[in-house]
Homo-oligomer: A and B are copies of this chain.
Amino acid sequence: MSSETVLDVNAAFYRAIRRADMHAMDALWASGRAVSCTHPSGPGIRGRAAVMESWRLILEDGVALPIVPAEAQAIVTGTTAMVLCHEIIGDMVLMASNAFVLEDGRWRLINHQSAPIPGTVR
């Protein structure tokens, strides 16, 4: 069992985006079950291959995304966890729900949705 908490893994998720590290991103998502993802203002993406392709497009466009999580709170019950957090990108604030499951002793993402919170420009 890893000593990583789900908040550590949530932080690693945003680090993978900041570093445009597709290898790390891939490893952060559950592999033994279906996953889903809704990027800001986008449709829902279902299935691991499609979700990974969406991240590849985001991370490989060559523009570093200075995204930082804030006020992250975890709700953990057994092998399932939700993390709610803000995502700070420059002067924009988004709200994210990230769902995790424990897979081989490590927290792995099964769903991510984030969307801008209007009127919260910093």
With an 8 A cutoff between CB atoms, is A113 at the interface? yes
Contact, CB under 8 Å: A77 / B113: no
Give chain B nearest CB distance to A69 CB in angstroms.
12
Contact, CB under 8 Å: A43 / B111: no
- Interface residues of A, dominant DSSP: strand
Interface residues of A (CB under 8 A from B): 33-36, 38, 40-44, 46, 73, 75, 77, 79-80, 82, 84-86, 95-97, 99, 101, 110-111, 113, 115-118, 120
Sample of 17 more A-B contacts, CB < 8 Å, known A95-B113, A97-B111? A33-B77, A36-B97, A38-B97, A38-B115, A40-B115, A41-B115, A42-B117, A43-B117, A44-B84, A44-B96, A46-B73, A46-B84, A79-B80, A80-B80, A97-B97, A97-B113, A115-B115
